[in-house]
Structure 1
Amino acid sequence: MADCYGSLASALAYHEARGNAAWTAAGVDDTTREAALLRSSEWLDGVYRSRWPGQRTGGRSQARDWPRIDAFDAEGNAIASDEVPQEVEHAAYAAALRELAKPGSLSPDIVIGQAKVLTAVKGIVWTPLRSFATTEDMAPTLTEVERALSGLVGARGATQFLVRA
């Protein structure tokens, strides 16, 4: 499982500690869990790539975005160049549970022009989202993942500059 963040054993411990019984539900095997963990790892890289600190240790040939060089956490602590932070692994486990329950739910197909919001209940009125909405505006935000990564990445859309003296 080199293409995934974490391991099945650590994912099991993570979900058992949180009472997430769906991870070990009847009919769910390791192959299914591995696939969900791979999809969640790919999703994390796709969503957070621009917010990760540092650069990939192995450059473009590296399968995942971690480990990284010149990376620091939000408090300015150096992250070893051979380390995948625990925050990233925990985020992968949290996202994998969602993928396990509903494969593809992290990366739904979106047609921006058809996105609408309910703006009036009486008489039911749907209003199209602003014309400049992006796929990022429509993508799911997992609060558990955001919390897990909060000590590692800045807020969505935020620019971070870390200076080490």
Structure 2
Amino acid sequence: MSASFYGTLATADAYFADRGKAGWATASDSDRLAALVRGSQAVDALYEPRFTGRRAGGYDQVLSWPRCDATTVNGEPITESTLPLAVTYAAYEAATIELLEPGSLTPVIVAARTVKREKVGPLETEYAVADTSDDMIASARPVLTMLDGLLYPLLRPVLPGILVV
């Protein structure tokens, strides 16, 4: 494993070859490596708050994994030296998105530049506007069902809220 991304270029190439994603293989090595870095960073940015445990190497560890005190959603312990295959696969899937559209998984949002209404000739369109900056960020992020499915076993369980009166 590289210090800056999950997996290796060779295993990513094999992963996509197995899945018939020919677009990956046509990109240059440098573009694929950069996409792996961005994909791994996106996985960490989007999912680390929901991973169990903490970084095994402390705060200065570049990537979120390996982790100590991590468990699966079923309570099975994940050893400190383990990098779950699901994390590597999620990083590969994120890398393909980043290869096609760099920066798409980590959009930059400037609230002051958000367009609410746009008129071009006789056509006018009004867009939904989020109430808070958190809502604006959430609406700009893509929904990554493949990553959600791959990483589900490694995430903290979502517990129903309890109202105490």
Same structural fold, with TM-score higher than 0.5 when normalized by the shorter chain: yes
Letter in 2 for 1:6: G
> In the alignment, what sits opposite 2:120?
none
> In the alignment, what sits opposite 1:102?
101
Indicate the SS of the match to 2:14. Answer: helix
Query: Any residues of structure 2 matched to 1:123-142 within 5 Å, and which?
Result: 126-132=126-132, 133-142=135-144
Mapped to 1, the partners of 2:11 and 2:116 lie a distance apart of: 40
Cα RMSD between the aligned structures? 2.2
Query: TM-score if structure 2 supplies the norm length?
Result: 0.81
Mapped to 2, the partners of 1:12 and 1:32 lie a distance apart of: 13
> In the alignment, what sits opposite 1:15?
16
User: Does the CA contact (< 8 Å) of 1:54 and 1:72 recur in 2?
Assistant: yes
**Structure whose alpha-carbon radius of gyration is higher:** 2
User: Does the CA contact (< 8 Å) of 1:112 and 1:135 recur in 2?
Assistant: no
Identity of aligned residues (%): 37
> In the alignment, what sits opposite 1:78?
77
Structure 1 unaligned runs (5+)?
A: 118-122, 161-165
Query: TM-score if structure 1 supplies the norm length?
Result: 0.81
Letter in 2 for 1:5: Y
Moved over 6 A (4+): none
In the TM superposition, residue 136 of structure 1 has moved relative to its aligned partner by 2.8
Mapped to 1, the partners of 2:115 and 2:50 lie a distance apart of: 26
Indicate the SS of the match to 2:91. Answer: helix
